[in-house]
């Protein structure tokens, strides 16, 4: 079981919901997280249970970022709107930087999201299980 987060800017929320509906079967066995409104919309259209944080501008990106900083997140699908300025852009940049620091796969568009989810479905993320198993401070 992996930890997966969904984040979508306002004009990308419908695209995110449709994407998650299409791959719902892939997400079922995993622990799912999301920023507030995105998670609500996904849960309204699917049978998935999602732990929701605040909306992005109210700190949701940072809450997910805290899990990334602890290397507790395994995959993030963050459908960004590149044509709209975001008031919380520094939080977004910080989240993406943390993903780079921790080596967390992150998709910022639907094409990359599909490639990562197909890899997840094939079992190509088993290396993340090793990250969790051998985390400093974790005993076998």
Domains and CATH numbers, the chain: 3-132 (3.40.50.1380)
Q: Examine the pLDDT at 137 and tell me if it is beyond 60.
A: no
Q: Compute the average pLDDT of residues 110-137.
A: 85
- The pLDDT of residue 56: 82
Share of the chain above pLDDT 90, in %: 67
- The pLDDT of residue 87: 66
Predicted confidence (pLDDT) per residue in 33-46, tens digit: 999 999 999 999 99
Write out the catalytic residue numbers.
61
Rounded Cα–Cα distance for residues 131 and 110 (Å): 26
CB count, 10 Å around CB of 41?
Answer: 19
Query: Three-class SS of residue 74?
Result: coil
Q: Examine the pLDDT at 140 and tell me if it is beyond 70.
A: no
């Amino acid at each position: 079981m992996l930890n997966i987060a969904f984040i979508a800017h306002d004009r990308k929320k419908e695209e995110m919901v449709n994407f998650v509906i299409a791959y719902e079967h892939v997400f079922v066995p995993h622990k799912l997280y999301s920023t507030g409104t995105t998670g609500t919309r996904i849960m309204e259209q699917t049978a998935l249970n999602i732990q929701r944080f605040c909306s992005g501008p109210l700190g949701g990106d940072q809450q997910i970022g805290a899990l990334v900083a602890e290397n507790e997140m395994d995959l993030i699908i963050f459908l960004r709107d590149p044509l709209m300025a975001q008031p919380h852009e520094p939080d977004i940049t910080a989240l993406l930087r943390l993903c780079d620091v921790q080596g967390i796969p992150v998709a910022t568009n639907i094409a990359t999201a599909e490639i990562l989810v197909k890899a997840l479905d094939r079992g190509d993320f088993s290396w993340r299980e090793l990250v969790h198993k051998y985390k400093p401070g974790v005993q076998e």
